[in-house]
Amino acid sequence: MAEVTIRLRPNGPLVVDLSAAEGVALKLIDHEGHPFTLPVGKPMVALCRCGHSANKPFCDGAHKTCDFQAVEVAPPPTATA
- The C-alpha atoms of residue 63 and residue 13 are separated, in whole angstroms, by 8
DSSP code string of 25-40: PP--B-TTSPBPPPPT
The CATH code that applies to domain 1-20+42-70 is 3.40.5.90
Model confidence at 53: pLDDT above 80: yes
Q: Identify which of 31, 29, 27 has the alpha carbon closest to the alpha carbon of residue 18.
A: 27
Task: Please state, rounded to an integer, the average pLDDT across all residues of the chain.
Answer: 90
Q: What is the model's pTM?
A: 0.84
Predicted confidence (pLDDT) per residue in 2-35, tens digit: 788 899 999 999 999 877 777 777 889 999 999 9
pLDDT at 26: 83
